[in-house]
Amino acid sequence: MTTKAIIIGATSGIGKELAEVLLREGCTVGLAGRRIHLLDELKGKFPDRVFLKRIDVSQVSESLDVLNRLITEMEGVDIIVVSSGAGFINKDFLWLPEKETIDVNVSGFAAMTNIAIHHFLSKGSGHLVGISSLAALRGSSVAPAYSASKAFVSNYLEGMRKKVAQSGMSITVTNIQPGYVDTAMAKGEGKFWVATPREAAKQIYEAIKRRRKHAYITKRWRLIAWLLKIMPDFLHNKI
pLDDT, mean of residues 50-74: 97
The whole-number pLDDT of residue 191 equals: 67
pLDDT, mean of residues 51-66: 97
Q: Of the candidates 94, 175, 185, which has an alpha carbon nearest to the alpha carbon of residue 132? A: 175
The whole-number pLDDT of residue 239 equals: 75
Q: Which residue has the higher pLDDT, 42 or 118?
A: 118
What are phi and psi for residue 112, nearest 5 degrees? Answer: -65, -35
DSSP-H helix ranges across the chain: 13-24, 40-45, 60-73, 95-102, 109-123, 144-167, 197-209, 221-230, 233-236
The whole-number pLDDT of residue 184 equals: 65
pLDDT band (50, 70, 90) for residue 81: very high
- With b meaning 16 or more CB within 10 Å and e meaning fewer, what string describes 27-61? bbbbbbbbebeebeebeeebeebbbbbebbbbbbe
One-letter identity of residue 143: A
Query: Could you give the domains of the chain?
Result: 4-236 (3.40.50.720)
Q: Residue 194 above 90 pLDDT?
A: no
CA–CA gap between residue 181 and residue 16 (Å, rounded): 13
The whole-number pLDDT of residue 234 equals: 84
Across the chain, what does the average pLDDT equal?
93
- Our answer to whether residue 146 is catalytic in this structure is yes
CA–CA gap between residue 215 and residue 157 (Å, rounded): 13
Q: What is the DSSP string of 174-212?
A: EEEEE--BSSTT--SS---SPBPHHHHHHHHHHHHHTT-
pLDDT, mean of residues 192-218: 94
What are phi and psi for residue 182, nearest 5 degrees? Answer: -75, 75
The whole-number pLDDT of residue 228 equals: 86
Q: Residue 235 above 70 pLDDT?
A: yes
The whole-number pLDDT of residue 185 equals: 57
Task: Give the whole-number percent of the chain exceeding pLDDT 90.
Answer: 83
Rounded to two decimals, what is the model's pTM?
A: 0.93
In 10 A of CB 146, how many CB atoms? 26
Q: Residue 28 above 90 pLDDT?
A: yes
* Of 146, 156, 205, 216, catalytic: 146
The whole-number pLDDT of residue 34 equals: 92
pLDDT band (50, 70, 90) for residue 189: low
pLDDT, mean of residues 192-221: 94
| Residues in contact with 213: Cβ distance below 8 Å, sequence separation at least 6, in sequence order | 161, 172, 173, 174, 175
pLDDT band (50, 70, 90) for residue 192: low
Q: Residue 87 above 80 pLDDT?
A: yes
